[in-house]
Amino acid sequence: MTGTIQLLALLGDLPARLAAGDPDLVRPLASVTGTLGAALVAGAEGRPARHDPAALATALSVRLPGWPVVSFSDGRGDHPYNTARRFLSVDHLSGGRSGVLFQTGGARAQHTAERIQVVRALWNSWPLDSLVADRDTGVYAHTDEIREIDHQGADFRVHGALNTPSSIQGEPVSLWHVSTAEELDAAHGLVDLVVLDDPDLLHRWRASEAEARPGLVAAGIVHGGEAAAELVSVSTTAELFEAVATLPPAPLPPGLPAGEHGRAAPTLRALFGLPPRSFDLSSKPLAFGASRA
């Protein structure tokens, strides 16, 4: 049994069967909810997409509550505002057990980097702790904490704020499946994790400053135990259950009570052992007012 977290990329008819609630798949996976060091990856089949990744992730979160879900996003035909809103909604539905795996979709590295920057800023534009929902005073939220992102970039101009409060895990976990040196360099300081399937890029990742580089997800390459996770494709029932049978146990964060199966189902960020993240918008305009802080 490997101790590395596994990201199970669902291919073939598995996504449709799980989304439809096929009991032959759902029941065995539900029986180990929250006990394994793994997440399901939605929308991994590439283009043309057979399933909308956000819709699929939503269905998986409903059918398998407690299972972390990572969704693909290549940005084609999807504005960053819509990307941020849809996947943050998935995060709320999953109880903070979600992430987004960004891909370039044929775009330039800097275009994808700017798209991720906009999405992350939007995820932070309405802080969760601004919600008070006080019936006595009639105050729902402290609007002085809600900010426009006021992004004026090379490829995107987005005001914000997002119409969804931020995640209980700070931000959904951000991953980037990089395929060039330019993408890897752009990912530094931007995403939580990079997915690498090229040994040359792995060498470049190793040569970068350890404190600044993203964590590593290995996809079919030897990583010497350095990877926080491995991306594994499964396309049949047999492959899925074989992968599940060898999964490591999920870590139990200190201070959390044991769940139904003896372990707490953590947020995806906690499962990876990632620190909280936020995007500083303190200098940006108030969303409900023209003044700047």
Of 192, 236, 201, 207, nearest in space to 219 by CA: 201
**Which domains are seen in the chain, by residue range?**
5-129+161-272 (3.20.20.30)
Task: Match 């290549």 to its residue by tokens.
Answer: 74
- β-pairing, 151-152 with 139-141? unpaired
115-174 per-position pLDDT tens digit: 999 999 999 999 988 877 777 777 777 788 899 999 999 999 999 899 999 999 999 999
CB atoms within 10 A of CB 9: 23
pLDDT at 212 over 50: yes
CB 230 within 8 A of CB 4: yes
Angle, vertex CA 70, rays to CA 118 and CA 181, nearest 5: 60
Q: Which residue has the tokens 């890029």?
A: 201
Whether 191 has a pLDDT exceeding 90, the answer reads yes
Predicted pLDDT of residue 224? 86
pTM of the predicted model over 0.85: yes
* Over residues 276-285, mean pLDDT: 88
- Cβ pair 236, 25 in contact under 8 A: no
Is 169 within 8 Å of 146 (Cβ atoms)?
A: no
Q: Is the pLDDT of residue 256 over 50?
A: no
Coil vs helix vs strand at 143: helix
The rounded distance, in Å, linking the Cα atoms of 99 and 103 is: 13
Mean pLDDT to the nearest integer, 182-207: 96
